[in-house]
Amino acid sequence: MSQIDPFELCKLLQNDQLGAGNFLHYLLRENSYKDHDYIFLERPIIGFDNTQIFSFSHQSLLNTAKQWSAFYHAQGVTAKDVIAVFIDDTIDYFIQFIALSSLGAVPALINSKLAPSIAIQYIQHIEAKLVLTTENRLSELTAIDKHDDIQFFIIDEVVKQKATTQLPSVYPFVHNALDPVLLTHTSGTTGIPKAVIAAHKPYFHGIRFRLGNPIDNLDRYLTALPHSHNSGLAYLMEASMRGCPTLVLSDKSPKSLAAQIDSFKPNFVVAFPKIFVELVRDEPNPELLQSVNYWRSTGDAAHERHVKHLTEWGSHFNNAERKPGSVYIDGLGSSEMGSSLFTVNHYRGKRDYDRCVGKPQPWVDAQVLDDDGNLLPAGQVGRLGIKSPSLTPGYWNSSLISEKSRVNGYWITGDLVRKDTLGYFYHLDRITDKIETQDGTLYSLLTEELILKRFDEIFDCSIYTYLDDKQATKVAIRVDLVTENTQESYLYDLLAQINTWLQAHNVMPLNSISVVSNANAYAPEGVTGKVLKRVLRHDDQSEIKVFI
């Protein structure tokens, strides 16, 4: 439901020039709601003249973005310049995105958790003209390399200045449909992140679709997505177009999330699966979560074990009557897809998810392909290939990788899937995580799902490979136990039970099990919370490891 007049929104969505690079400027042309605050911040940010900002209307958001546009203009930033932003995880990323895209520049938003040693390589790769960062990050970046050819600015120092108003003669920039408006990096689960190009019209395609096909009883947002990620920006764009009251979190810890839900009373909460998994692990008081009708995740498909807990909380409406239990909207997407191209709804009492991600959106051509790009029939496992108007044009300064990601006209997402005879897709694994041994093939995500459905004592797990003394590939599982137990005899028995269960489902046995005690994370993670299986494969630092 939109707080903006539905006729105004419908008229705006019909404008073919509307896109990610100009959405706010177009939104303010005819908008009786423009001076009403709709974005509310868990923590204030600092604007120019050292002003504390607690909330935004459409007009005040544009005014703040214009001040930043004027700052960048004064530094000589022009259309197509790449500007890197590496700051704390706040709505400042959204403001920088609007400010820079309004100039026709290309903001490269870097996740605040990315290690400076990796960030500086990424900045060099994308050939950034200027970097906006924080004092502590600047000291780490320049300690690695002085970078005399790159201008660095500290955000806290910039906002102490008096705001300037001088803008280019043409403002906002007039975008072509395929003009780049954003570089967002991949999760880094396979090494140095790739710079994914988001273009003006393709990037807005999924947003436009959701706006034209609204979910019932949705009028208060809470976002716990990373503010530097294209999905975090996209949901703020969508909330802006609707004018829905939206709470933006910076502290995404389970206790903070539960408390903010209780206080703000959102009916729609969006985050990456990792945030929801941590919420389930923390076992919050369900009374705090009663307002939630929808949990929305994007990225990799979530595990059934965790989703079932979430759908027990909150409520939903049936024939205008509130009923217990919420809906979990699971989306399979990526930076390259430009949106969640598959969605499936999970609800209280649903059984046997089987890693089904649903059917593709109506504007998506999704196929299961073999290694040569040939289409595979229903039931066979292959690579997920996508044709979609939302797709990235490719990777910035990486034309070879971009071309190798396309086969037979399809973009290869990096996922292994199968499709059934009814057209439903099932996400089995990432291509890089599929395991081949002398005993056969094992799909790690699918096997993890199978284990989590059976063993209540395992809260989460990750399956990966290692080489034994004879350099043979073996399969290991790292477990996050509900109740910590590092006794080798217990782990040995647990592994034996797991293998009995796997054998009953025609899955090859695992060779070892490991745990880490007293750790913030049971396994190494990337900046978006994904487990780094490549790190487990090459640098397994488990404290207790039991072999069979």
**pLDDT, position 544:** 76
- Residue 267: CA count within 13 A, CB half-sphere: 14
Other CB atoms within a 10 A radius of the CB of residue 233 amount to: 26
Residue that has been written with the tokens 């990610």 in this structure: 20
Question: Which of 186-195, 201-210, 316-325 is least confident?
Answer: 186-195
User: Could you give the angle at which helices 230-242 and 92-101 cross, rounded to 10 degrees?
Assistant: 80
**Residues 363-374: pLDDT tens digits?**
999 999 999 999
With 70 as the cut, is the pLDDT of residue 378 above it? yes
User: If DSSP codes are grouped into helix, strand and coil, which group holds residue 475?
Assistant: strand
Residue that has been written with the tokens 């998810």 in this structure: 353
Element at 415 (helix H, strand E) = strand 410-419
**Gap between the Cα atoms of 85 and 87, Å rounded:** 6
What are 541's strand-pairing partners?
none
The two structure tokens encoding residue 436: 């081949």
Last residue of a domain, one of 154, 181, 198: 198
In this structure, are 422 and 462 located in the same domain?
A: no
In this structure, are 417 and 342 located in the same domain?
A: yes
With 60 as the cut, is the pLDDT of residue 189 above it? no
Q: What is the CATH number of the domain that holds 288?
A: 3.40.50.12780
Last residue of a domain, one of 380, 396, 430: 430
Last residue of a domain, one of 413, 430, 447: 430
With 70 as the cut, is the pLDDT of residue 191 above it? no
| Count of helices and strands (H, E) across the chain | 16, 28
Is residue 136 assigned to a domain?
Answer: yes
* pLDDT band at residue 242 under the 50/70/90 scheme: very high
**Residues 50-59: pLDDT tens digits?**
999 999 999 9
Is residue 242 assigned to a domain?
Answer: no
Is the distance from CB of 113 to CB of 228 less than 8 angstroms? no
The two structure tokens encoding residue 323: 């009923």
422: Cβ–Cβ under 8 A, 6 or more apart, which residues?
none
In this structure, are 525 and 460 located in the same domain?
A: yes
Amino acid, res. 530: K
**Residues 426-471: pLDDT tens digits?**
999 999 999 999 889 999 999 999 999 999 999 999 999 999 889 8
- Whole domain around residue 93: which residue ranges? 56-198
503: Cβ–Cβ under 8 A, 6 or more apart, which residues?
509
Is the distance from CB of 481 to CB of 543 less than 8 angstroms? no
Is residue 37 assigned to a domain?
Answer: no
Is the distance from CB of 95 to CB of 68 less than 8 angstroms? yes
Three state DSSP letters for 108-158 = EECCCCCCHHHHHHHHHHHCCCEEEECHHHHHHHHHHCCCCCCEEEEHHHH
Q: What is the mean pLDDT of the chain?
A: 93
User: Could you give the angle at which helices 6-13 and 200-212 cross, rounded to 10 degrees?
Assistant: 140
State the average pLDDT over residues 252-256.
97
Is residue 127 assigned to a domain?
Answer: yes
What percent of the chain clears pLDDT 90, i.e. is strictly above it?
81
**pLDDT, position 42:** 96
Other CB atoms within a 10 A radius of the CB of residue 98 amount to: 27
How many structural domains are present in the chain? 3
In this structure, are 425 and 440 located in the same domain?
A: no
What are 418's strand-pairing partners?
426
pTM of the model: 0.95
**Gap between the Cα atoms of 413 and 418, Å rounded:** 14
Is residue 405 assigned to a domain?
Answer: yes
Alpha helices for 183-327 (secondary structure H) = 200-212, 230-242, 254-264, 273-282, 304-312
**Residues 93-118: pLDDT tens digits?**
999 999 999 999 999 999 999 999 89
